[in-house]
Amino acid sequence: MITIFHRLGERIAETQQRADQNVPDEPVWIDLLNPTEEELRHLPQNLNIALPTREETWRNHALNRMYTRDGTAYMTAAVISDDRDARACGTVTFILTPDFLITLRDIDPPPFLALQERLLLMPKAFPDSVDVLTGLLEAIVLRTVVHSDEVITGLDGLSRRIFSSRGFEGEKGTPSDIMHGVLQSLGLLADLNSRIHESISSLQRVAGFLRTHTPAGQSDHSRALGTLLKDTQSIAEQTTFLSNKISFQLDAALGMINVEQNQIGKIFSTTAVFFLPPALVAGVYGMNFDHMPELHWSLGYPLALGLMGVAVLVPYWVFKRRGWL
């Protein structure tokens, strides 16, 4: 789908068109969402500009390759999709000409819709193509901050569950089942945090490349891109901190599981200690010897049961007194 934002007097209008139609005059932003082969073939002819193929887009992103050709800058970045079932980073290509911006993408995250609304409502805030790209990058970074806050909130909740004495009250299942759920939540947060780091690192490279190639004398653009670079640097540092926090909570959760397993082993070990002496008594009087006087006593059986009872009660009393139970 091709969506074109173009100037119409003092305002900016939005147009959706087919690949074989001519591009309106004074385009500001040409957005290609899930472009077809026909669109990728016809649009460069209408604009007299080269568009990278899907293979070139993948290679440029994998190699972090950004370049200029005939006054046009080609950049790629990883942007997080908002699909909660599959939080993945999609590659977005930014093609910046002196007159307009072209974006090629296969995902539809909220920052693109946010910029579209701003273009229509505040056309004077975007006098040139650099302003449009800067505004789009700012919207993507802002959305990345929302994802980062989601990781922070999730880790705070898991921290209370792991370390609070009442963190698991009201939850169904055994402690092992509950900790298994904690590990799953930690895994999802770790994956999202890694996506944030991947996205923010690529956005940082785009902002740095764009700032380097901004013509001298455009101080407003340079300041805006400098602020964007500081924001991306702050988020990148935060992802590193969150990664360390995730590792700490993962170690703590695994430690809790080991404690739970040790408690289970302690129960079996204590039970074995309690019943070992009675088993010894029963084993002694179960031997087949001819001369065992106790076997012929009238009180032999009660005596054996009494010995077994004492053998259980004495270890229990000792364990309880020492605080082992």
Output the six-digit token pair for 6.
Answer: 């173009």
Residues forming beta bridges with residue 93, ordered by sequence position: 76, 104
pLDDT of residue 87: 73
Task: Check: CB of residue 246 under 8 Å from CB of residue 186.
Answer: yes
pLDDT of residue 154: 92
Q: pLDDT tens digits, residue range 201-225?
A: 999 999 999 888 876 556 788 888 8
Write the single-letter amino acid at 290: D
Domains of the chain, earliest start first = 2-260 (3.30.460.20), 263-321 (1.20.58.340)
Write the single-letter amino acid at 20: D
Q: In the chain, which residues have pLDDT < 50?
A: none
Cα torsion angle, 36, 38, 41, 45, sign: negative
CB-CB neighbours of 198 under 10 Å: 17
Report pTM.
0.79
pLDDT of residue 298: 75
